[in-house]
Structures are given as C-alpha cells and as structure tokens.
Amino acid sequence: MRKHKSVLIKDISSFKEKLLLWSQQFDDVVWLDSNNHHNISTEYDAVLAVDAMTSIQSDYHDAFDKLHEYQNKTNDWIFGYLSYDLKNDIEQLESNNFDGLGFPELYFFQPKKLFLIKGNRLNVLYLNMVADEFEEDLKLINAEDIEFKYLRNDVKIHLRMHKDEYFNKVNDVLSHIHHGNIYEANFCQEFYAENTLINPIETYKKLNNISRPPFATFLKVYDKFLLSASPERYIKKKHDYIVSQPIKGTSKRAEDVKEDTLLIEQLANDEKERSENIMIVDLVRNDLSKTAVKGSVQVEELCKVYTFNQVHQMISTISSKLREGIAPVEVLKTTFPMGSMTGAPKISAMKIIEELEETKRGLYSGALGYFTPEGDFDFNVIIRSILYNATRQYVSYSVGGAITAKSDPLKEYEECLVKAKAMREVLEN
C-alpha cells in the first residue's frame, strides 16, 4: 500500500533539477521528463521512481512470461526496460555481436518512493514502510545545490564501423531489398569510448538541455546508466486504448526561419521518407491487430512532421481498442521490438541486421517506461541515447536509419551524423 501526498510547487523547473540531483543517492533510479511537449500526450510532465523494494532481472529466456508474473504479483507501479534482444524470446533469433556495456536484457523494479509531476502539482506516492520519510526528504530536496557544475568530458569517440564499411553494408541491405527478402531495414552503427569516466547526471543535463525531447530519460541501475533524449513513443495503454507513435523520416534544423520552414515542407513531401514511414505504419497496424478488437485499429495521424530542438521528425499515430482478457504484457510481446527500429517484414529484417551490424544493440532500440497498478503503461523508444557502464568505463551511443529501395548510402550516413550530433557534442564538448 502507498501513502499519497499532494503538494503545490512554486518553481517547478528548479524543483525538478533538485529532485533529480537528490535521487542520485539511490541504486535504482528512473527519471522521465516530457520537457513540456504538450503536443505529445503524456500522463505526467515528469516522473521520478527511486529505491527498489522488489525487482526482476532476466536474460531473454521466457523474459515476457517472467515480466507478466512479476507485474501481476506486484500489482503496483513498476519501472524498467526491455532490451532489443528480447526479440530472441519471441522468435527464433540470436544476438551474437560484441557487447561492451553488459546491461541485463530485462530489468524492472518496484520503487519505494514515487514522484509524479503535472503542472505545478507534485503527487508523492510512498510505500507505507517509508511514508514518514517524506517531510525530511522534501527538506533535503529543496536544500540541493543546483548551480551548474561545468565538468569537461574528456572523451575520444571511436567508430565501430568506418564509413567505407558502412557503405558496403548498406549496399548489402539494398541487395536484400532488390532480391525481395525485405522492403525496409533499420540499420544501426555504434560510436564508443573505452577507459572513460563521465559524470552521468551532468552529461544527462547537458544532453537534455540541447535536445529537450518529449521522452527524456535518466536511468541508473547500480553502475549502469542510460542518458536518453528520445523523441519517440513506442506504445502506451490507458484502459483499453492502445497507441503507438513510430518515427520514420528525419531532417536537420536550420537557424534561418524561412529555411527551417522549407526543410519541414521538404520532409513532409519527401517520397522516400513517406514510404519509409508508411511501411512501418502497416507493420504497426498488423502488430496491434493481434490484441485489438476487430476493426478498431486506426491511423490517427499519417506522416505528420513534428519539430524538435535538433531535428524535424515524421511521426505517425496508430491506435487500437484492446480486446477483453488480454494481459498488458501481451501487448508488449506482440509488438516488440518496435517496427521503427527493425524493418519489414520484421523477422526477416531482424535476421539481416543481426548479420550486418557489429554491435549487440542491448538497451539501444529497446524501450523504457512503467506500468501502473491498474495495468496501464507508457514506454519510449531508446534512441538518441548515451549508455554508460561505470565499472567497465565504457561509453556508447548508436544511431541508425531506415534503408529502403530508394536509399542513397551517403545520404543515410549523413542522416546518422545528424542524429548523433547532440550525443557527440555532449561527450566531446
């Protein structure tokens, strides 16, 4: 059982910074921040979950069944992630590529302390065993010093895959497309640094300040960190309403307003980008239909361009009505991994990209989010993210793009660099 308190906060922006700094004393931390993107519906402006009461950690074997059991048994708020490699639990697939990070493939925890922010109202949900700690915690949070500490990251980024090799592999994907094996594949590459120390919280703050995305995330699981500026929702459930919002189609920003407006128009009318997006919309419609009331799958928005600090993105919104008796985890299992990060047909695309990519994706292109006690959930797509294993002193970020029959390897490579720009700036100063 949880004890509930509601408090009005005068300066919510300052309080959010203090709250995140205060959270660093705990081994298990999930911070979600919508950065006030009111055009993308979120239940809360920001959420903090800390201090695990219970948790579940698993490799891919029977991972979704274990998560279903844990979610049912806990019957409470739980926070965590699904790594991309849980694909191996759903299909006869493997992940044999290099892994420098070593994150568990699935991790969720039940927080003792939960903070939900909407507008200037803070709702606090503490488990009864720690409920009497709230007043003292609030004093400590308000006493945090949020003066910006400029800590220079001395990071030397390396490419796991050099430019010529990237071109060759994109041409391999195009060969598969021309032979009819797939229509589209999301092909990714890793950038990394070894023997490197970074300050996770300051690095996250710098990344978030640059990007201000609607699904920003700070995750800490002991010595492992996710610092995410994700603009993409994977899937959300509220009662029997399911919504997925895949991103396919990216354009750079311009400082000049007229030029920026022209870039929006060009992206909205780009035949290649629209075809990428529509292929994934069809894939998501098919995935949602597995758990939907017949005839309830709808495309609410098709190829709408949204603007973010770093890029313009083409987003579609697909919804469905959940059939009675379908467990929440079943919705995840029948739609995972998300089509925007795999390709079409999904299984064939996953086999091909596993052969061609150099790195095990792990958290990258997985999903992070939460379940409520009522079985509702909301998960982002882990992209535009820095991953860090402090013990191994290994830093990584990956970027990718959809390869279709009309793809130009050079343009695909340039799009990767646009997507990587914020992470590289933050790490290399």
Tell me the per-residue pLDDT of 210-265, one tens digit each, with 9 for 90 and over. 999 999 999 999 999 999 999 999 999 999 999 999 999 889 899 999 999 999 99
Q: For residue 341, what pLDDT is reported?
A: 96
pLDDT (mean) for 154-183: 95
Q: Which helix (H) or strand (E) holds 368?
A: strand 367-371
Q: For residue 362, what pLDDT is reported?
A: 97
- Checking if the pLDDT of 150 tops 70, the result is no
Residue 336 lies in a domain: yes
N-terminal to C-terminal alpha carbon distance within the chain? 46
Q: For residue 149, what pLDDT is reported?
A: 62
Nearest one of 90, 43, 53, 62 to 376, comparing CA atoms: 43
Most confident of 251-255, 272-276, 318-322: 318-322
Q: For residue 146, what pLDDT is reported?
A: 76
Q: Considering the chain, what is the average pLDDT of its residues?
A: 95
- Tell me how far apart the alpha carbons of residues 196 and 187 are, in angstroms, rounded to a whole number: 27
- Checking if the pLDDT of 310 tops 90, the result is no
Q: For residue 344, what pLDDT is reported?
A: 93
* Token pair in block for residue 290: 């597995």
DSSP assignment letter at 98: B
User: Is residue 128 a contact partner of residue 2, using CB atoms and an 8 Å limit?
Assistant: yes
User: Is residue 262 a contact partner of residue 306, using CB atoms and an 8 Å limit?
Assistant: no
Residue 40 lies in a domain: yes
pLDDT (mean) for 360-373: 98
Nearest one of 357, 395, 409 to 158, comparing CA atoms: 395
User: Is residue 232 a contact partner of residue 367, using CB atoms and an 8 Å limit?
Assistant: no
Set 248, 321, 360, 419: catalytic member: 248
Share of the chain above pLDDT 70, in %: 99
Q: Which of helix, strand or coil describes residue 40?
A: coil
- 232 is annotated as an active-site residue: yes
367 pLDDT tier (thresholds 50, 70, 90): very high
Locus of tokens 């993210």: 385
Length of the chain equals: 429
Q: For residue 148, what pLDDT is reported?
A: 60
- 205 is annotated as an active-site residue: no
Residue 298 lies in a domain: no
Instruction: Evaluate the CA torsion angle 282, 287, 290, 295 in order and state its sign.
Output: negative
Residue 386 lies in a domain: yes
- Give the Å distances, CA to CA, from 64 to 46, 69, 132, 329, 376: 27, 9, 35, 7, 16
Nearest one of 283, 333, 289, 359 to 89, comparing CA atoms: 333
What pLDDT digit, counting tens, does each position of 155-169 carry? Answer: 999 999 999 999 999
For residue 170, the domain's CATH number is: 3.60.120.10
Nearest one of 238, 241, 279, 188 to 369, comparing CA atoms: 238
Instruction: Evaluate the CA torsion angle 304, 305, 307, 312 in order and state its sign.
Output: positive
Using CA atoms of 219, 355, 182, 232 in order, give the dihedral in degrees to the nearest 10: 10
The count of structural domains within the chain is 1
Instruction: Evaluate the CA torsion angle 118, 109, 319, 276 in order and state its sign.
Output: positive
174 pLDDT tier (thresholds 50, 70, 90): very high
Nearest one of 114, 136, 86 to 28, comparing CA atoms: 114
User: Is residue 234 a contact partner of residue 247, using CB atoms and an 8 Å limit?
Assistant: no
HSE-up of residue 354 (Cα within 13 Å, Cβ side): 16
- Checking if the pLDDT of 429 tops 90, the result is no
Residue 160 lies in a domain: yes
Using CA atoms of 28, 46, 117, 133 in order, give the dihedral in degrees to the nearest 10: 10
Residue 117 lies in a domain: yes
- Tell me how far apart the alpha carbons of residues 79 and 105 are, in angstroms, rounded to a whole number: 14
Set 232, 276, 354, 412: catalytic member: 232
Say which amino acid occupies 153.
N
Boundaries of domain holding 88: 2-238+326-428
- Give the Å distances, CA to CA, from 196 to 154, 192, 220, 403: 8, 10, 18, 33
